[in-house]
């Protein structure tokens, strides 16, 4: 397996984020709703606002992107000698790595799910 350099990994991550952004824009027409919170009134009717799948996905992408930008900024500061906080920089780098790995796993699950739906006989 080919090793990726830091620049190659950055390009791979950027490409992955662009692919995920394209997926978000293509899901805007889908009216699926997802709500992590359900509040129920006395008469049993849910009062939680409807949240679209594309907005949830876009929010997750933005959070991962912000984590990666923060880690990159801290790494740049350490590299340039502006900061000497190596431990926080390494923690941010690991957070970004874990967040990106989780994002890749979600993408793979979504792709597998979409393939399963597309291959379902009607």
| Residues recorded for the chain | 122
pLDDT higher than 70, residue 10: yes
Greater model confidence, 38 or 31:
38
Average pLDDT of the segment spanning 18-25: 74
Q: What is the pLDDT of residues 51-108, one digit of tens each?
A: 888 888 899 999 999 999 999 999 999 999 998 899 999 999 999 999 999 999 999 9
Contact 33, 55 (CB under 8 A): no
Q: Where do the structural domains in the chain lie, given as residue ranges?
A: 15-118
pLDDT of residue 16: 76
Angstrom distance (rounded) from CA 43 to CA 51: 22
**31 touches 23 (CB < 8 A):** no
Exposed/middle/buried for 38, CB within 10 Å: 0-12, 13-18, 19+? Answer: exposed
């Amino acid at each position: 397996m080919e090793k990726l350099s830091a620049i190659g990994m950055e390009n791979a991550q950027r490409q992955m984020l662009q692919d995920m952004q394209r997926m978000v824009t293509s899901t805007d027409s889908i009216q699926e709703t997802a709500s992590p919170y359900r509040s129920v009134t006395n008469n049993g009717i849910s009062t939680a606002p409807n949240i679209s799948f594309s907005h949830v996905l876009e929010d997750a992408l933005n959070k991962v992107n912000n984590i990666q930008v923060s880690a990159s900024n801290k790494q740049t500061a350490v590299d340039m000698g502006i900061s000497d906080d190596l431990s926080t920089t390494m923690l941010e780098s690991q957070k970004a790595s874990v967040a990106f790995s989780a994002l890749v796993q979600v993408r793979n699950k979504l792709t597998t799910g979409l393939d399963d739906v597309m291959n379902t006989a009607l």
